[in-house]
Amino acid sequence: MKTIITTSLAIFSLAALTACGGGNDGEASDINITAEQADGPKDYVAVYEKQLITIADAVEAVTDEQSAQVAAQVIRDASAELEIIAKKAETMSQIEQARFAMSFTTELADTQMRLMGAMQRLYQTDPETMQLISDAMEDLPSPVEQ
């Protein structure tokens, strides 16, 4: 239960901080770059956005324990891509990291709100299933250290 609340609060906080920043709520398939191919802050944001959209899609599709297990695997796969981005972001200067963090938070607001809403709905309708999602999301790396 504590994990669910912590995860929800983290997503809510990030979404609340970025809600005024606009965002792009496109399709993950519209972004054709992998973490390995990413070269610079713009690419890092694109990969992060792609993975966040993929996660939001998976969480929104959860209807039972089986679909929650599928979503948890999607989240773990996305986490691997995001870990690559986090490592690449570590090589940037502090100024570049600050710019990246600003871009990351403003461009992803709509997708973050979508994910937060899906998690809230799932928590209200099926807290046990939500625990599978919450456990998988615990290890998602941030693209920049805060």
pLDDT digits over 21-52, tens only? 334 445 665 678 899 999 888 888 889 889 99
* pLDDT computed for residue 6 by the predictor: 47
Q: Does 87 score more than 60 pLDDT? A: yes
* pLDDT computed for residue 9 by the predictor: 42
User: Would you say the C-alpha torsion 45, 46, 48, 53 has a positive or negative sign?
Assistant: positive
Question: Could you tell me if 26 and 82 are in contact, meaning their C-beta atoms sit under 8 angstroms apart?
Answer: no
Taking the C-alpha atoms of residue 74 and residue 53, their distance in angstroms, rounded to an integer, is 11
